[in-house]
Amino acid sequence: MPLAYMSNYSWEDIAPIPQDDGGENPLAPIAYQDDYKTATGYLRAVMSVEEVSDRALQLTSDLIFMNPAHYSVWAYRARLLFALKKDLEQELIWIEEVGQQFPKNYQIWNHREVIVDKYHNPIRELPFVEVMLELDSKNYHVWSYRQWLVRRFDLWLTELPYTDRMIENDVRNNSAWNHRFFTVFGKGVDIGQSVIDDEIDYAKRAILKAPQNASAWNYLLGVLKRAQRPISEIEEFCSDLAAATGTEQSVDVDIDRIASTRALEVLADIYASRREVEKATQAWTLLAEKYDPIRENYWKFKKAQTDQHFTATA
């Protein structure tokens, strides 16, 4: 929409400050559109005198719809809203409109944090966040905002059931798994072993639905590490998925029954943790040559690293 600031009598007292791209003959001037150049000229002018007015607030609205990533505009807008004592609920409604047009813009979510923190009322936030995650269930900025909300307003009780639904809808949604880990461990209180057992079982059930899904495997291993429990605890589970059997010195894999190369990867780490170097090496060789050759160099690195470590400590 054309912006006629120069012909608007309400702005006739303001002399816009032009963009300085490096003197009279800049080497690489930025090709802003004329409307944006005009609006930012007036923005620099009002910000230079720290003007607090409704017209300045409207100017920020115009600029945000032209460039929602302009951090200075958002920061100035927040100062104006608070100084003018504007209705912050109306601002939240306005942000929802902007957010649905530019859902992956970080500044929008940062601004919403600032407003909600000042407003002290999260009543409309989780429903709005759920709408945004229905549009894009892996939007990192929305998930980060949700975590801020949970911490800021102590909303922990809602989160496990919510991640249940999100993971049920898409077991490969890494963002939902990450949020579940945040929910279980992010409060900073002692976690009972029964909770850890429940989360291990939960991750195992999800892995059985999609044995190659990295998200569920990462969650399972993350829970074990955070709880300081050995990965050997899931050896039998991994052996079943990798169709692996073995003696003390060797490991055999049933080629026709292997369900998860990730299980074989974890088995290799379990063997290495017990100093069963030959078995670990055999597992990494199978991964490099047969099951995951695209990462052949990585598996060779793992083998070399393990050989070097145990040679040095022998």
- pLDDT tens by residue, 133-187: 999 999 999 999 999 999 999 999 999 999 999 999 999 999 999 999 999 999 9
Answer yes or no: is 134 within a domain: no
- Let me know: does 102 contact 75? Beta carbons within 8 Å: no
Catalytic residue among 37, 104, 225, 279: 104
CA dist list (Å): 193 to 228, 232, 234: 11, 17, 16
The question of whether 104 is a catalytic residue gets the answer yes
Query: Is 17 inside a domain boundary?
Result: yes
Over the stretch 91-132, which tens digit does the pLDDT of each residue have? 999 999 999 899 999 999 999 999 999 999 999 999 999 999
Q: Which domain, by its residues, includes 5?
A: 1-86
Q: Evaluate whether residue 5 is within a structural domain.
A: yes
Domain's final residue, options 71, 86, 101: 86
pLDDT tier at 2, thresholds 50, 70, 90: very low
Of 10-24, 98-112, 127-141, 266-280, least confident by mean pLDDT is 10-24
pLDDT at 67: 94
The neighbouring-strand residues paired with 43 are none
Total count of domains within the chain: 2
Structural domain includes residue 235: no
Q: Cα dist. 244→34, 63, 206, 251 in Å? A: 67, 61, 20, 7
301 and 308 Cβ atoms separated by less than 8 Å: no
What is the spatial distance between Cα 295 and Cα 287, in angstroms, rounded to a whole number?
A: 8
Please tell me whether the overall predicted TM-score, pTM, comes out greater than 0.75 for this model: yes
Say whether 299 sits in a helix, a strand or coil: helix
Instruction: Write the pLDDT tens digit of every residue in 287-303.
Output: 999 999 999 999 999 98
> Which two tokens mark 145?
């905002």
- Percent of the chain past pLDDT 90, that is, above it, reads 75
b/e code 16-50 from CB counts within 10 Å (16+ = b): beeeeeeeeeeeeeeeeeebbebbbbbbebbbeee
Stretch 60-66: mean pLDDT, rounded? 95
Q: What is the mean pLDDT of residues 56-77?
A: 95
Question: Of 27, 60, 86, which marks where a domain is finished?
Answer: 86
